[in-house]
Amino acid sequence: MLSMLAALALQATNSLPPAGPISAPAFEEAEVLAPINAAFAAFERGDGAAVLAQVYPEGRVTAVGTLPSGFSGLRQSSFTEFAAKLTPAGAFRERITNPAIEIDRDVALVWAPFVVEIGGKVASCGYDHFDLVRQNGAWKIMNITFSSRTTGCPGQ
């Protein structure tokens, strides 16, 4: 009888799906997204100081691909350099959708498709990759790396 129970237990164990990652609690994901959303709002206002409040100034902005300005290739700058170039655009809007968020204690990454609109028209799209670090209870963006293209975007 014990051998039959052991066989049934083994069969049940073998039929279980493989284990997957445990999702972060929704409140923790919202905390990780907060500095990203605040940085996007600051981009829209052209407010460099507000951007620097959400990032580590020594962090990097890295773009790969074709930008709405026509630049193509690899471009890098520090957040300090990036923020210094911002001007009140009024018509610039970037939004991410369906972010994939991974969190391990005080380190997080966010990977999400984005669309940039300029003057209400889709100008570019691609994928954003954010590295974030939590220090003293607050999440800040360490780096943004993104791909960019000006054709084949949703809404074009």
Could you state, in chain order, the average pLDDT of each consecutive group of 10 residues for the chain (156 residues)?
47 54 74 97 92 96 90 93 82 90 96 93 96 97 97 93
| pLDDT attached to residue 2 | 46
| pLDDT attached to residue 68 | 83
| pLDDT attached to residue 89 | 65
| pLDDT attached to residue 23 | 61
| pLDDT attached to residue 97 | 96
| pLDDT attached to residue 77 | 96
79's tokens? 């957040």
| pLDDT attached to residue 66 | 92
Q: What is residue 90's three-state secondary structure?
A: coil
DSSP 6-35: HHHHHHHHHTSPPP-PPPPPHHHHHHHHHH
CATH topology of domain 24-148: Nuclear Transport Factor 2; Chain: A, (3.10.450)
| pLDDT attached to residue 5 | 44
| pLDDT attached to residue 4 | 46
22's tokens? 């445990």
Exposure on the CB side of residue 38, measured as CA atoms within 13 A: 17
Neighbours of 75 (CB within 10 A): 14
| pLDDT attached to residue 39 | 96
| pLDDT attached to residue 151 | 94
| C-alpha–C-alpha distance, residues 54 and 27, integer Å | 18
